[in-house]
Structure 1
Amino acid sequence: MKFLIVKLSAIGDVIHALPVASYLKRAVPGCTVTWLVEKASAGLVSNNPAIDEVVIFSGKKWVKELGKPGAWLRNFSEARQFFAELRAAKYDAVLELQGLLKSSLLARASGARVVAGFDDTREFADRFLTHKLNVGDYFGHDVPVVELNLRVAHYALTVLGLPAPELPVEFSLPLLDSSVDVKVDALLISASSTAPGVEPGGAGTKSGTVSVAVPQNSAPDLASIPSVAATPDMEASASRFTNKVGPINIILIPGTTWVTKIWPNSKWIELGEKLADQYPCRLVLVGGPAEVQSNYAIAAGIEAKRPEQMVLNLTGQTSLLDLISVFRRSALVIGADTGPLHLAAATGYPKVVGVFGSTPAKRNGPYGKQCKTVHLSLECQPCYSKTCKYGTVACLTDLDSSKVFEAALDM
């Protein structure tokens, strides 16, 4: 039995669909699972034990290069080959989990007898499905999107006349090469809150496109990670997250793409102060290149208020695979509604607290028993909008840091 999962992007959405691959593998022993994805999210499904094959859709590149006549012939040839191979694969069923016109057209282009997905989604995408699952209001606030995706998997198996057992939710993540752990160990040892564009101290060595500072001619020494003096009260508090007495890694993920998902820098600084006072910890900031400036400001703000607190700023220095390793070394992750937050939840290792504004906390929040979300309950929430119609983003600017801190304490 051959299945194709169509979930092209974004990172958080792909993570929320990962349990579907794991479910199919367990529910239909011997089946093969292929994932159709765009390049930006391919790292999550490549070298993944629940996924047999990954197909990259390069449509964005083809569209981007329409203005380059020299690329037309090459891209036309690539597209023709892509669709020919998609159809030649002869999938028994396609699970279209994106709910957009582009993804539905791709799913239908496979020629599969069963193309299952959600009824009543955007852009009339459901019109290209052969089998539509009515889940009520797909954009409703009360059902986690992870569970909605799994409903499509159950539905597809039922359509095929196969048993659709209820199974525990499992996030299958990529297998990590040992070099990833070595790199992350080096980062946690040697990284510091440097100004944007300035390398941490020490000799720089290149690892992919990331510059990692490690001592020359030496392997990372885990024993060299600085210690934080712990009081009895701090040790007792830290035990909520770990059985080991001593500094714990607390990860902060302030950045995301929508303005209406971003908690103000001043709130993150206040939260950092509270965490520093409560726990013997390393505060570690992570994010992409777009967050370099804002995360540096947050790190500098925490250090200014708590000069003795260890703050490591890894912004722009970690890939998705690196983050998996980072999260597995952490006790607590606090972040905005962004892909890395959901990746932290998918690892199942740290406690995870999501700070939510414009998006529905129960539907889109980090999934798992070790996760919770913090949000206000304004009449305008959730608005699903990238901009605030009132111009205030009050759902986040009015969210006090003490509320987020208390949520972490309660875990």
Structure 2
Amino acid sequence: MLVRTPKSAKFLIIRFSAYGDVIQTLSVPAGIKQTYPEAEIQFITRKDMAPLLENHPAIDRVWAFDRKDKPWKLVKLAMSMRGEKFTHIYDAHNNMRSRLVVWTLRPWGFLGLGAKFIRRSIRRWKRFLLFRFRINKFEMPFSGQRDLLEPLQPWGVSKLAPPAPQLFPSDIHRAKARELLGEFKNAIALAPSAAYFLKRWPKDYFMKLIELHPDDKFVLLGGPEDSFIEDIRAVAPERVLNLAGKCSMQVSAAVVAESKLIVANDTGLLHVAEQLGKPAVALMGPAPFGFPSRPATKIMEINLPCRPCSKHGQGPCINKFKFHQCLVDISPEMVSNSVRQLKDSGL
């Protein structure tokens, strides 16, 4: 590949949310650096997501805004960024807020003036064909990181994800994680939650998985609203630690870093493991666009004509024969075998 080295190149990456998407976008700065090793790279995101970008060696500056702010405040922030004189702008989000930033930084962009610019396509037509008519025009296998890098190919950037790690928990957050874990350091992490119910492997299956590994310790991760996770801990409270709702996003990432491996639904913590370079078992159900991208991840899925059925897994389930079959048919025994394989591989 041709390596370009203009010292004057200055990139801005725009990705505001959500948790898993921001984590996956952390591969973009490193991907750019492979082609433009001397370039300066800046990133704009939501204030609550900004700490996830800390310590990334390919990111020179992070701009952040509060999601509760009015749009004019975002425009004001973008106005203050004009002095950076970006040479390349990548809108990896493609929503109204990201467009506001781009319009402010490139007021004459419609004339072809200003920074070079790429906006990641949402591919609405392909999504329409996929979800309405079951016609799949997407590149297979699905890959979240590839989809974020692929638009940058006109700038000479590879669509292949750069090697992990691309997430760097601070020493403070790792120390907090070790304090919370105690004797559960190097346990198997479980992420039983997800934004939508249809993306969740059944709770009873997580309980059975713990029973199938009587010699292992487990740590449970999730949000404060995930009260059902306590039911999973109850199956073996002496060797299961429930940290749901007790960790910030940064500390949760550090907990994954201190764990042996993770078993996760299609959710942000799965991408945390990938960007840390941690082995993972990915339980993939109804949604296509957050698929793992790294060889250290074992993808568990059931091929069904009804998959994928929705962009985010919000439903409804369209399987006429068996509700939630895409995840219900992934048995605890199947996942247990994958866990043992990852443990034995020494990854």
Normalized against structure 2, the TM-score is what?
Answer: 0.80
Count of aligned residue pairs for this structure pair: 312
How does 1:11-410 map onto structure 2 within 5 Å? 11-58=19-66, 60-63=67-70, 76=72, 78-111=73-106, 112-119=114-121, 121-122=123-124, 141-155=140-154, 157-158=155-156, 164=157, 169-171=162-164, 173=166, 175-189=168-182, 225=183, 248-276=186-214, 280-291=215-226, 293-303=227-237, 309-348=238-277, 350-360=278-288, 364-384=290-310, 385-390=313-318, 392-410=323-341
Q: Which moved more, 1:280-289 or 1:334-343?
A: 280-289
AA paired with 2:295?
Answer: K
Report the CA distance shift for 1:167/1:365 in structure 2 as closer, same or farther (over 3 A). closer
**Partner SS state of residue 225, structure 2:** helix
Report the CA distance shift for 1:180/1:335 in structure 2 as closer, same or farther (over 3 A). same
Cα deviation code 1:352-405 (max 9, x no counterpart): 001111113xx5223312101112122211112402244832322333211222
Counterpart contact for 2:167–2:276, Cα < 8 Å: no
Larger Rg: 1
Counterpart contact for 1:269–1:301, Cα < 8 Å: yes
Cα deviation code 1:70-123 (max 9, x no counterpart): xxxxx85x3452131133322111111223344244334321432113346349
- Ranges in structure 1 where 5+ consecutive residues have no aligned partner: 64-74, 124-136, 159-163, 190-224, 227-246, 304-308
Counterpart contact for 2:178–2:258, Cα < 8 Å: no
AA paired with 2:20?
Answer: G
AA paired with 1:36?
Answer: I
**Partner SS state of residue 95, structure 1:** strand
Report the CA distance shift for 1:143/1:379 in structure 2 as closer, same or farther (over 3 A). closer
> Where in structure 1 do 4 or more consecutive aligned residues deviate above 6 Å?
165-168
- Ranges in structure 2 where 5+ consecutive residues have no aligned partner: 1-8, 107-113, 126-135, 343-347
Counterpart contact for 1:44–1:173, Cα < 8 Å: no
How far apart in 2 are the matches of 1:286 and 1:166?
A: 31
Shift of 1:330: 1.8
State the identity %: 26
Question: Counterpart of 2:132?
Answer: none
Question: Counterpart of 2:5?
Answer: none
Question: Counterpart of 1:212?
Answer: none
**Partner SS state of residue 172, structure 2:** helix
Counterpart contact for 2:187–2:261, Cα < 8 Å: yes
How far apart in 2 are the matches of 1:408 and 1:3?
A: 40
**Partner SS state of residue 148, structure 1:** helix
How far apart in 2 are the matches of 1:94 and 1:380?
A: 37
How far apart in 2 are the matches of 1:47 and 1:138?
A: 37
How far apart in 2 are the matches of 1:387 and 1:399?
A: 19
Report the CA distance shift for 1:337/1:166 in structure 2 as closer, same or farther (over 3 A). closer
**Partner SS state of residue 182, structure 1:** helix
Q: Which moved more, 1:84-93 or 1:175-184?
A: 175-184
Report the CA distance shift for 1:80/1:13 in structure 2 as closer, same or farther (over 3 A). closer
Question: Counterpart of 1:210?
Answer: none
Shift of 1:290: 1.8
How far apart in 2 are the matches of 1:167 and 1:257?
A: 27
